[in-house]
Structure 1
Amino acid sequence: MPAPQKPAQAYVSLYTDLLQTVRELGLLKRRQGYYYTRISVVLSALAAVAVGVVLLGDSWYQLALAFVLALVLVQVAFLSHDSAHQQIFRSKACNDWTARILAGGVLGMSVNWWRTKHNRHHAAPNQADKDPDVQLDVLAFTPEAVAKRGPVGKWFAARQGWLFFPLLTLEGVGLHASSLRHLVRRKATALERVDLAVVLTRLAAYVAALYLLLPPGKASAFLAVQLAVFGVCLGAAFAPNHKGMPIVPAGMKLDFLRRQVLMSRNVRGGVFTDFAMGGLNYQIEHHLFPSMPRPTLRRVQPIVREYCELHGVKYTEVGLFTSYGIVVTHLNEVGLGARDPFQCPLAAQLRG
């Protein structure tokens, strides 16, 4: 009689079986028609905004165009994200260069910087010692991080949930700054040097164009509105996905399926939510199948949910505003030391 498997060993094949089912159903096939259409629409909208800025001229109504430009650039960011995940083309090189052009040439950010950070996140979401998204300087995700701060830092941490969304107005500036810091380091690769040239050219051309077309005050206001709205919209799309979910203790090992499902949260909604969040509202499915085209995530969701229920893996899905409430409450509680972030369901089960 074979020896009984330990719980951790019994989970190893769960993902393999699910992946095989999804592959046999053809749900990993590329959706190039969808992406060609979406890229064309987004780039056309970008061109329309540029023409509108030129035609409108010296007017405070330019701030409305700055708002629209920010929304369009958020969609560019989603497309760059999809391409970097190899979702658009069969060719890795085509995906990589599409992501590079969209990120560097249109957004003004390095795709190499983003990919390095994002791949670490996908490999170990919400793991204290591995996920860069829970190792931020501004926000504290563990009581240990709060304890290391001075009086001002602890005061901020106790209110960081309420301050989270106002802080997102600075996220656009922060992303550009982090990208540039990554590119100018001494050991940059040849491709990163190319990225640096593209990013600097794009940023300089954008700022120069604004100040040539508009008076300094209006140009500065345009830039501020665009960056603030971009940061809020992009941050609001990424924030509900993992914040407030269990944080995995440093060094803990989990099987792939449970690591991705237990630490991720889906957001319910219709067409508007799909559009506003770029498909990231299907975060569980995206983490399980990173190269799955965005429009297919909705189709695979019922399969994944049923599979998780069958095997006793908690599948979390809430409404959009509920998810934001969870994020604010969790961040405040961590700052106050009122919640142990290491409430990992699998950890508790294995200890039992």
Structure 2
Amino acid sequence: MGKGAQGEANGSVDVSRPLKEFTWDEVREKTTKECRWLVIDGEVYNITSWARRHPGGTKVIGHYAGQDATDAFKAFHNDLNFVKKYMKAIHIGTLKETQKEVKPIEEDFRQLRQTAEKMGLFKPSVLFFTLSMLHILFLDWAAWAVMYYFGTGWVPYLLSLIFITTVEAQVGYIQHDFGHLSVFKRSKWNHALHYFSLGFIKGASPAWWNHMHYQHHAKPNVMDKDPDVRLDALFVVGEHMPVEVAKNRKKSMPYNWQNYYFFLLGPPLLFPVYFQIMLFKFIYSRKAYLDLLMVIIFFIKFFYLFVPLLGVGGSLIYYFSFRCLESHWFTWVAQSNHIPMEINHDEGLPWLQLQLQATCNVSKSVFNDWFTGHLNFQIEHHLFPTMPRHNLYKIAPLVKSLCEKHNVSYVVKPLSTAFADIVRSLKHSGELWYSTYQAFHASSS
């Protein structure tokens, strides 16, 4: 192997030599941690070493190894010219001209993105985000003030729980905006407010959120890549996971009853138990000291305010109560858009098809927009994650028209139907697991 080939395999590129031409067959072979390539706009990049330094995390970029990452790249980055400066060192070649053909669905989607840019839909409203943050800060103060001024009887206590649960749910939406870089043009301001909202107000880790959420957006509902569907310890979802789990003779849970125990093990425990464990495990394993500092500040603030009112034990009960309520809010909203949809292994689909098969919308209304943080337009958010959420409804008709042109299903549901479909899909997947498990168990007996 020559020096040039060795350099490519190790991820270090000699930028002085002429760029090579590659075929898709060559690119698709480079999917291991030892050698990973991907394609953006017909150009080939060696991400083997860069993946470890990638600001979005190793996995999110690694999930596109051996594939065309053009639309994912444009979806996640606001300032493409700035990012491309870092790409020169890992640019190793170009696809052969005969293999640069763009599919019609990809070409049309890229034209739609240009249309959205011309319409100014990536420009945030200062007023919208200012009012959103102010209503969060007001309710955060009110959650403490109602008990401070009126005592800790049942009425002020319950009002306080309602206020702080609303704070935690709504700050979850605005931190989501900062995390997707959709509020400020300059990334550093988004990052700063991300730490303030998710760290100081919510008591969680922005680095952990980025690690989990960007993977979800890169490959939604893709088994082994989207962390949101790595659920087989408790649940099986979709059409494919139940069959695979059953064939592997896995019976860690009575999955055929999962539509019932979901109400006990799902929404009530996601935030108070699972996320708390994952959060501190991530901070410890990644040595995320800034995130740890923000979480510590959150708990200092919380106990300083509420221990004088409720005592230590009462404050802990109050804490886990609003975490449980917040968990219900988040779980039903987040899962309604994805769990009832297609869940499968990575098929390398074009961006539009990938996002639409894994995502559905909830009908628009003033309440639904507020209650879901505008993620009732989940389709549009997944297609354009950096678009400010108050503009998502404006691009929706054009997205729907494009889907109709390419015969891609565009699903919109009432909020109640979307919630009910979570349970219905769990029931169907559980029954599929049970019938498959029974069949394989009987045949091997």
- TM-score bucket (shorter structure): 0.7 to 0.9
Structure 1 gaps of 5+ residues are: 341-352
- Matching residue of 1:293: 388
Q: For 1:140, what is the secondary structure of its paired residue?
A: coil
Aligned residue-pair number: 330
- In 2, distance between residues paired with 1:75 and 1:149? 42
Q: Which has the higher contact order (CA 8 A, sep 6+)?
A: 1
Which of residues 123, 141, 158 in structure 1 aligns to 2:256? 158
Counterpart pick for 2:401 among 306, 309, 321: 306
1:172-224 CA distances to partner (integer Å, 9 max, x unpaired)? 21223221111011x42xxx211111102312442454333214564344223
1:194 maps to what in 2? 290
Cα offset, 1:147, TM superposition? 5.3
Match of 1:127 among 213, 219, 222: 222
Alignment-derived partner of residue 418 in structure 2: 323
Contact 1:268 1:318 in 2 (8 A): yes
1:15 paired with 2:109, answer yes
Shift of 1:126: 0.6
In 2, distance between residues paired with 1:147 and 1:107?
41
Amino-acid identity (%) = 27
What's 1:333 paired with? 428
Distance apart, 1:150 and its partner CA: 5.6
Secondary structure of the corresponding residue to residue 122 of structure 2:
coil
Aligned partner (choices 363, 370, 374) of residue 268 of structure 1: 363
Instruction: Look up the match of 1:234.
Output: 330
Q: Label 1:71 to 1:149 Cα distance change in 2 as closer, same or farther (>3 A).
A: farther
If the length of structure 1 is used for normalisation, what is the TM-score? 0.87
> Which residue of 153, 169, 172 maps to 2:271?
172
Residue 335 of structure 1 aligns to a residue in which SS? Answer: helix
- 2:328 maps to amino acid: V
Q: What pairs with 1:27-176 in structure 2 (closer than 5 Å)?
A: 27-61=121-155, 62-136=157-231, 137-141=233-237, 142-143=241-242, 144-145=244-245, 151=251, 153-155=252-254, 157-166=255-264, 167-173=266-272, 174-176=274-276
Q: CA deviation at 1:170?
A: 1.4
Aligned residue for 2:253, secondary structure, equals helix
Task: Indicate the structure with greater strand content.
Answer: 2
Which secondary structure does the structure 2 equivalent of 1:159 belong to? helix
In terms of Rg, which structure is larger? 2
- Name which of structure 1's ranges 13-22 and 215-224 shifts more when overlaid on structure 2: 215-224
Aligned counterparts of 2:190 and 2:152: Cα–Cα separation in 1: 39
Letter in 2 for 1:194: L
Which residue does the alignment assign to 2:378?
A: 283
Q: What runs of 5+ residues in structure 2 fail to find an aligned partner?
A: 1-98, 436-445
Matched to 2:116, the amino acid is V
Deviation at 1:258, TM superposition (A): 0.9
Deviations 1:7-50 (A, max 9, x none): 99343323212111211222111212210121112111211222
Point out the structure with the larger helix share: 1
**Closer, same or farther in 2 for the Cα pair 1:179/1:10, shift >3 Å?**
same
CA distance in 2, matches of 1:307, 1:339: 39
1:284-312 CA distance string (max 9 Å, x none): 00001101111101111111111211222
By how many angstroms is 1:146 displaced? Answer: 5.1
Task: Name which of structure 1's ranges 27-36 and 57-66 shifts more when overlaid on structure 2.
Answer: 57-66
- The corresponding residue for 1:203 is 299
Per the alignment, in what secondary structure is the counterpart of residue 243 of structure 1? coil
Moved more, 99-108 or 261-270: 261-270
**Residues 104, 202 of structure 1: 8 Å contact kept:** yes
Shift of 1:99: 0.8
Residue 234 of structure 2 contacts residue 253 of structure 2 at CA under 8 Å; is this kept in 1?
Answer: no
TM-score w.r.t. the length of structure 2 is 0.69
